[in-house]
Chains A and B, each alone.
Chain A
Amino acid sequence: MRTIKAEEIKDKVKKLVMDAEYFIPEDFIGAIKSAKEKEESPIGVEILDTILKNAEVAAEEQVAYCQDTGYPVFFIEIGQDVHIEGNIRQAINEAVREATREGYLRASLAYDPVLERKNTGDNTPALMYFDIVPGDKIKIMFAAKGGGSENTSRQMMLKPADGWEGVKNFIIKTVANAGPNACPPFTVGVGIGGTFDYSAVLAKKSLFRHIGERHPDPKIAKLEEKLIEEINKLGVGPLGFGGSTTAVDVKIEVAPVHIASLPVAVNIQCHAARHKELEI
C-alpha cells in the first residue's frame, strides 16, 4: 500500500491546470505546422500562422491561450494499492479554485443550467471521472473543454443496420454542422458502442491520445485515416474561412455494445487543444 497525500495531489493538479491553459501541446503545434504546408487557402495559411503566434504569446507571457478557459474535466485513474490521505475530490476542486485565481483564468461555470445560471466564480465543481486500475500510482488527465466546441458535439443512437456507413455519415455531418462555430482545425473525438452515455465518455477520453497516434487495432486505425481524409474535403478550413484543414486528427474509441444498439458520439475539440496529464 502506498500513501499519497491529498495536499500533494492539489499542488500538482494546480500546476497541471495552469500549464494546460498557457502551453498548447507540442504534438498539436506540430500538426498545425504540417497542415500549413498543405493548406490550399491563403487566408487558411494566415490563420494557421495566427494560431501558432497566439500559442507562442500565451506560452511566453503565461496568459490563457483562449479567453474561454473551459470546463475543467478530469479523468482520474487510481491504482488499487494507493491509499489517499485526505479527500481527493476536495483537493482537485481546491486546485482548480487556486489555479483560476492565481492563474487569471476565467470563471466559466454556472451553478444551475436553467434557473438563475449564476456563475460559481471559481470554475468549481470540476467534472471528475474516477477509475480503479492495478498498481500503486495515480494518473490524472485534465482537459479544459471550451463551450464553443462542446456545443457542437453530438450523440446519436443509430441502428445496427446503419453500420459503419451510418456512423461515418453521422460523424461527417456533425463536423460539417460544427463548421466555423467551433474554432477549427478540430481534433474529432469519436466514441462508438457502449451505452448512450458511455459513447460520449469514450469520445471525450479519446482526445487525450496524441495527434497522429492511431488506434492500436489496425482496422479502427484505417477508419480514422479515412475519416480525416473525408472531413478535410468539407472545405470548412481554419476557423471556417475555407480550406483543406478542417481537422488535424480523428480519434475513435470503441466498446462492446448491446445487440439492439449502435451508439455514436462525436466530441469536437477546437484548436485550443488543452489536454495535459500527470502521474503521481
Chain B
Amino acid sequence: MSEPKKITTPLTEDVIENLKAGDRVLISGYVYTARDAAHKRMLEEYEKTGELPFDIKGQVIYYVGPTPPKPGQVIGSAGPTTAYRMDKYTPKLLELGLKGTIGKGWRTEPVKEALKKYKAVYFAAFGGTAALLSKHIKSVEMIAYEDLGTEAIRKLYFEDFPVIVANDIYGNDVFQELEEKYRKIDLSKLPQFCI
C-alpha cells in the first residue's frame, strides 16, 4: 500500500480525478453527517422547496450516527454506517453537486454510474472502529433536523480522517477487486436463492 494522499474539503475536480480505488486518503476540513432519516427528509424537502439544508457543492457527506459525547469529548464514537442504504438518494445529491461520500460496504450500480457521471468518489472508512475514528473529529456543529437525534445533520471538522477510495470516477471498485483476488471458491456453482 502506498503512502496516504492528504486531501482537503471541499473537493475539486482535480483532486477527484487523481483518486483511484484502493488509494489511502487522509481527509481534512469540514464534512456533513447524514444517514437514513436525514436523507429521506432532505430529499423530500428538496422536492417541495428546491433547497437543501446546506450548500452541497463540492461537499462530502459522512454516513454516521455518533454516540453522545462524554464530558470532555468533542463527539462520541463515530464510525461509518453501511452506505448502500443511502443509494436511493445518492444519485440526486451527486447531481446537485455532492462530491464525496464516506461509509462502509459496497454501493449499488446506479450509484457507481452516478459517481462516474457526476465525477465524485465514495470513500470507505473502517467500520466498527468508532472509538478510534472519533479522534480525527475536532469540532461538531448542529446544522439541521435536531429532532432526529443521532440522525441529525451535523457539520464536523476532520483532521486526517483515514479512508480508502472504494469507488472512483473510472468505475473501479476496491471491494470487488480485493475479494476476487483472495477468493478460493467458485461462487457461480452455488445455487441461486432469493436473498
Q: Which residue of A lies closest to B69 (CB)?
A: A104
**Are the CB atoms of A233 and B185 closer together than 8 Å?**
yes
Shortest Cβ gap from A242 to chain B (Å) = 3
Q: Which residues of B contact A156 (CB under 8 A)?
A: 193, 195
Contact with A along B166-186 (1 / 0, CB 8 A): 000000001101111111110
Kindly state whether residue A90 has any CB partner on chain B within 8 Å. no
Contact with B along A230-243 (1 / 0, CB 8 A): 10011111011111
**Are the CB atoms of A104 and B149 closer together than 8 Å?**
no
B residues 29-70 touching A (CB-CB < 8 Å): 37, 64-70
Kindly state whether residue B94 has any CB partner on chain A within 8 Å. no
Contact with B along A107-150 (1 / 0, CB 8 A): 11000000001010100000000000000000000000001100
**Are the CB atoms of B67 and A104 closer together than 8 Å?**
yes
Kindly state whether residue A34 has any CB partner on chain B within 8 Å. no
Kindly state whether residue A87 has any CB partner on chain B within 8 Å. no
- What count of chain B residues pass the 8 Å CB interface test? 50
Shortest Cβ gap from A277 to chain B (Å) = 22
Q: Which residue of A lies closest to B166 (CB)?
A: A180
CA of A69 to CA of B69, assembled, Å: 14
Q: Which residues of B contact A234 (CB under 8 A)?
A: 179, 183, 185, 187
Q: Which of B69, B174, B180 has the most CB of A within 10 A?
A: B174
Kindly state whether residue B151 has any CB partner on chain A within 8 Å. yes
A50's partner among B70, B77, B106, B132 (CB-CB below 8 A) is: B132
**Are the CB atoms of B67 and A69 closer together than 8 Å?**
yes
CA of A97 to CA of B149, assembled, Å: 16
Counted as pairs of residues, one from A and one from B, with CB atoms less than 8 Å apart, the total is 181
Contact with A along B99-138 (1 / 0, CB 8 A): 0000011100000000000000000101111111010000
**Secondary structure dominating the interface of B:** loop
Q: Which residue of A lies closest to B24 (CB)?
A: A43
**Are the CB atoms of B193 and A173 closer together than 8 Å?**
yes
Contact with B along A41-54 (1 / 0, CB 8 A): 11100110011011
Kindly state whether residue B82 has any CB partner on chain A within 8 Å. yes
**Are the CB atoms of A237 and B182 closer together than 8 Å?**
yes
Q: Which residues of B contact A154 (CB under 8 A)?
A: 195
The answer to whether residues A64 and B180 also contact, given A104-B70, A156-B193, A156-B195 and a CB cut-off of 8 A, is: no
A181's partner among B73, B104, B148, B181 (CB-CB below 8 A) is: B104
A residues 210-246 touching B (CB-CB < 8 Å): 230, 233-237, 239-244
Q: Which residues of B contact A104 (CB under 8 A)?
A: 67-70, 76
CA of A270 to CA of B79, assembled, Å: 14
A residues 245-280 touching B (CB-CB < 8 Å): 270-272
CA of A240 to CA of B164, assembled, Å: 12
Q: Which residues of A contact B187 (CB under 8 A)?
A: 176, 234
Q: Which residues of B contact A240 (CB under 8 A)?
A: 105-106, 175, 178-179
Contact with A along B1-12 (1 / 0, CB 8 A): 100000000000
**Are the CB atoms of B67 and A179 closer together than 8 Å?**
no
A239's partner among B70, B84, B127, B151 (CB-CB below 8 A) is: B127
The contact sample of 28 A-B pairs, CB cut-off 8 A, is A41-B178, A51-B128, A51-B129, A54-B129, A54-B131, A58-B77, A63-B76, A63-B134, A64-B77, A67-B66, A67-B77, A68-B79, A104-B67, A106-B66, A108-B150, A166-B191, A177-B195, A179-B106, A179-B175, A179-B179, A180-B175, A181-B105, A240-B105, A241-B178, A242-B177, A242-B181, A270-B128, A272-B128
Which 6 A-B residue pairings sit nearest by Cβ, starting from the closest? Answer: A242-B178, A235-B183, A181-B105, A235-B182, A233-B184, A233-B185
| Interface residues in chain B, defined as those with a beta carbon under 8 Å from any beta carbon in chain A | 1, 37, 64-70, 73, 76-79, 81-82, 84, 104-106, 124, 126-132, 134, 148-151, 164, 174-175, 177-185, 187, 190-191, 193, 195
